[in-house]
Structure 1
Amino acid sequence: MRLPLRHRPPATPEPLRRCAHLEALAEASVGLPLGPAARHLVGAGGRGRHGNALQWHLGLDCHDSVAQPDWEGRIEIKLISVWQRADGRLACDRIKVCEASVDPWAKLANVLFVFADRLTRVVLGHAFFHLGAASLGRLARSWGVDPHFGRPDLIIESRDSAQGMSPAYYLSARWLVGEGLLPEHPVHWGYRFDNRWWRDVRAEFAGRSPLVTLARVDSGETTPCSRCSGRLRVDLDRVFEQGWAPAHHTMPLGDRCALRGHVVVDPRRLPEPHCASDEELFAAVEGRVPDEDLWRLADRVPEPEDHGH
């Protein structure tokens, strides 16, 4: 159910805010796998677990739904899950901004958008955004527009949750494209995503997501499983043509691979990691990182003496 906006847009934009430390972390985040932290961190669970994992990698505590922007109360951090369309362009769902009780204009004044592949949960890139005068004017048109028929870019939508109806502010996906935050041209990195197939497999295996395996052979009918001594039967032509394909795990079947769906992906579509080795990236995508080997991006990026505020 959509509701009218509660917070009137400001008369003037907030000033542009930047931080050299956050900029260095964002640059280093390309190729960052979010899956291990999302699985292992206490407090990173739930629908926003990968966003919480990103915050942890940036050196922040896992949190959500606070009124102040995430980074030093100055810059909001938003993780956007993206996938490739059939033509190679990136797509995403609408973006949750904040709870309806929080001022969305303050949250959107200065934002670091981080884009992660929906299938592998690997960071593909980022963009800093300032809600300046022109952008504010465009988004402010959402104020007073009928939320059902006026196609506003900023809406309040109330969804069912464990606590009852939970109204929150959302941004439309077309707003990201209109502001130049998502590229309009085809990209090489990332994968297509079949939400119906993913949902059906999760339902079949008691809510457990499919395991991702990298293709390790160029031809044939099977590829080795990196988690056990078994093999995965898969259409490799489809893997290399479309980026991924569903797979069936043959016997023998290791404990970690049992009672799970499986998907094989083309590793050439993963971005080159800026702050990790290829082996670290591959192990993370395939879910092979034990708790004791979990590493943090903030520990690998030196903090500059001058943050450039």
Structure 2
Amino acid sequence: MKMEWIILAHGDCDGVCSASLALSAKKNSKVVFTNPAGLLSELKSIETGNIIITDIALTPTHKDEIVSEFKRLSSKGRIIYLDHHPPPSGLNMKKLPVETVRGSKGACASELAYACFRDILDTEMSRVAIYGAIGDYSDNTPGVRELLKKWDKRELYLEAGILVAALEGVKKRDFDFKRSLVTYLSANRLPSFDRNLVEIAMRESEKDERMRHVVKGLVKTHGKVAYVVNVEWSLGKAATYARAYGNTLVGVAAEEVEENMDMSIRSVNLKNLHRVVSKVAEELKGIGGGHANAAGARIPKESFSEFIKRLDEELSI
């Protein structure tokens, strides 16, 4: 009997696009959306099967347990790990029982997924990889530039813009919507051909224009950090504009989720934001990570003020 494939994916544009490429390559796979904080519990819930993990970082807090789960599951099936986040300190990815793909420097998960399954994908699925790269600000790698040569890039930026706006226009945990979108994109259908998707994107664009001014009025600063709390908008965008309007090195947007604060953190030309955020979050019994200029964190909500203070201190070293 053929073994089932399970796709574990992040729910942002890069995660959705990389999952779409994986689903196009491995038809009838089960698609599950999760995040770095939830990856361990998802792995524990799987008894057997082949697994594709896309755009989900390995957190320092859970790394040993995740490695243990990788060993358990790899004895029963294949694990393909397609991610571009820096691994936790001390973890050698080459020694893990998972299949990985080497991409160009700065390659996003969508670029890695296309490279992984290229031989069995329709070549036109390259545009889905490009959507993911645009959505993740990773569209200037040698790999994506090569893929773009086959397309009119103006058309693809329109499609990616619709996709990004639509994903930010639905609730973060609307996984049924995201699963249907993965299925839609896996069949090489254009975002602009889905009237519902376009309408959601247009509403989100109108909201963006309003919310920029809301952030401008609410932003607070602490040294090199500007921040906003519980703004009903994309955390990534709110963090970007908090930084811009606060005229600081780093912008933070946070929202209360039960007993925690979920945050997006953005900077420009910092190059080590993920390390700084991870260090501060772990000191406060939370988790954090991401990229050189874009990161995320989850900490106990009572520690938020201390997080801002320590983040500023780390930036001042």
Query: What TM-score comes out, normalization by structure 2 length?
Result: 0.28
**Highest relative contact order (Cα 8 Å, sep 6+), 1 or 2?**
1
Higher-Rg structure is: 1
Bigger strand fraction: 1
Bigger helix fraction: 2
